Amino acid sequence: MMKKVYARTTGIQDKVSGFCPGCMHGTVHKMIGEVAEELGIMDRLVRAEGVGCCGLGQNYVSYDTTISPHGRACAMATGMKRSNPDSIIYTYQGDGDLASIGLAETMHAANRNENITVIFINNGIYGMTGGQMAPTTLLGMKSTTTPEGRDPEKGQGYPMHMCEILNQLTGPYYLERTTCTDPAHVRKTKAAIKKAFQNQIDGKGFSMVEIVTSCPTNWGMTPLKAVDFINSDMLKEYPLGVFRDRSKEEKEAE
């Protein structure tokens, strides 16, 4: 007898996405859908998405979705969760959205330990607008607004490490950085996403998964070269790991 062991998640629509070849948004959307199914939260799932390529997700995911003004997803999710605590709300934001224009909203939602889940896609560049410098762009990395490579001597600043920055606050419950470069890391990312949603279901508070991803189009690389670049360069600047996990502290205290 045949047994179904794998199926497309109902969390994404049955259509071809317009994401560039090698883009990892699709992988993350799929994992979020699978996690929502596994946790049985699909019919109360709400996506508050940022502006940029992350805002394209509304065309592909299959549950309630709303778009926030650029950078304001954490503020919007705050209002949504406070007024409807039964919803399971996640923001889906890129590095420009979360770490540049929305830095204050991100910091303060974390500081209040808002009971929301934040999926942060860090690919070190503005994708949709055509490859400008992001707060997470590596030193020396070329972008359309740092044509000679990002150089702090030219007043272009340094890469910002959001997990480490938020980890300075007392508020947040869970902060982890992962990547999606190979099946093992995809599975780790999925486990982190699941934890971040479980925390919200349990009323624990602000949980962010920062996923280091690629942007082959704006990095000017093939998808495979982009994966190599994550491993060789991005992860040196953005080390993977759990930065905050209050559930562990709670267990140890027991």
* Residues binding other proteins: number (CB under 8 A): 36
Q: Which of residues 98-157 bind other proteins (CB under 8 A)?
A: 104-105, 107-108
Q: Select from 20, 27, 38, 58 the one that contacts other proteins (CB under 8 A).
A: 58
Q: Is residue 45 near other proteins by the rule CB under 8 A? A: yes
Q: Is residue 8 near other proteins by the rule CB under 8 A? A: no
Single out the segment in contact with other proteins by CB under 8 A; choices: 66-74, 188-196, 199-207, 218-226: 66-74
Cβ–Cβ under 8 Å, residues 50 and 105: no
- Closest by CA to 76, choosing from 60, 63, 62, 65, is 65
Q: Is residue 168 near other proteins by the rule CB under 8 A? A: no
> What is the SS3 string spanning 27-94?
HHHHHHHHHHHHHCCHHHEEEEECCCHHHHHHHCECCEEEECCCCCHHHHHHHHHHHCCCCEEEEEEE
Single out the segment in contact with other proteins by CB under 8 A; choices: 79-87, 153-161, 235-243, 244-252: 79-87
Cβ–Cβ under 8 Å, residues 159 and 165: no
Q: CB of 218: closest distance to other proteins in angstroms?
A: 21
Distance, CA of 136 to CA of 210 (rounded, Å): 12
Single out the segment in contact with other proteins by CB under 8 A; choices: 56-64, 124-132, 135-143, 198-206: 56-64
How far CA 43 is from CA of 59, 84, 173, 184, 197, in Å, comes to 18, 14, 25, 29, 14
Q: CB of 200: closest distance to other proteins in angstroms?
A: 12
Cβ–Cβ under 8 Å, residues 118 and 145: no
- The amino acid at residue 44 is R
Q: CB of 72: closest distance to other proteins in angstroms?
A: 4
Q: Which of residues 190-229 bind other proteins (CB under 8 A)?
A: none
Task: Provide the 10 A C-beta neighbour count for residue 23.
Answer: 23
In terms of CB distance, is 58 or 247 closer to other proteins? Answer: 58
Q: Which residues bind other proteins (CB under 8 A)?
A: 10, 41-46, 48, 58-59, 62-69, 72, 75-84, 86-88, 104-105, 107-108
